[in-house]
Amino acid sequence: MATSKAKAEIGRKAPNFSLEGSGGEQVKLSDYIGKKVIVYFYPKDATTACTQEACDFRDAYEALAGHGAVVLGISPDPIKSHQRFIEKQELPFLLLSDPEHKVCELYGVWQLKKLYGREYMGIVRSTFLIDEKGKLIAEWRNLKVKGHVQKVLETLQG
């Protein structure tokens, strides 16, 4: 359930949210005040590009954590799907379930997409970097997976 109507905008406080996490707990963005937070939105567990992106975050996890950052992945998939995905790919971070797309809409990533001439609503792959005070400091929208996590790490390094 989303807890804020503010839209995501660089330089402003990131919209707070509360979603069910892959461990069965409610996860609030505000729980992470004092840490940098990387929130990445992806379309679907266990698809090719989404698996690559998750594994890239997994492989860079220690370096990201070394800069005081936590990683949260968000998709509409149910918790059971997230749990299988985490187990199979050995992901060291939480995945959050947003089946009603409320948080996706807050961050402006739930959009009309086109594939093979068909139009549908879906997640536009995007990542947001939030500072220790909860302010949105960087965003990558409609991104390509290859090299993306390295760009996030470079931004964290300053």
- pLDDT value of position 1: 43
- pLDDT value of position 8: 87
Angstrom CA distances, 115 to 25, 105, 110, 142, stand at 35, 20, 15, 14
- pLDDT value of position 7: 80
30-58 residues labelled b (16+ CB within 10 A) or e (exposed): eebeeebbbbbbbbebeeeebbebbebbb
- pLDDT value of position 5: 53
pLDDT digits (tens, 9 = 90+) for 90-102: 999 999 999 999 9
In sequence order, which residues have a C-beta less than 8 Å from that of residue 75 and are 6 or more positions away?
41, 42, 43, 44, 45, 50, 82, 95, 97, 98, 123
Angstrom CA distances, 59 to 3, 18, 21, 55, 56, stand at 32, 26, 21, 6, 5
Question: Can 104 be counted among the known catalytic residues?
Answer: no
On the CB side of 35, CA atoms within 13 Å amount to 15
Beta strands in the chain (DSSP E): 18-21, 26-28, 36-41, 69-75, 94-97, 110-115, 118-123, 126-130, 136-141
From the candidates 8, 19, 39, 50, which is the catalytic residue? 50
In sequence order, which residues have a C-beta less than 8 Å from that of residue 17 and are 6 or more positions away?
1, 2, 3, 4, 28, 29, 102, 103, 106
Whole-prediction pTM: 0.94
Tell me which residues of the chain have a pLDDT lower than 50.
Answer: 1-4
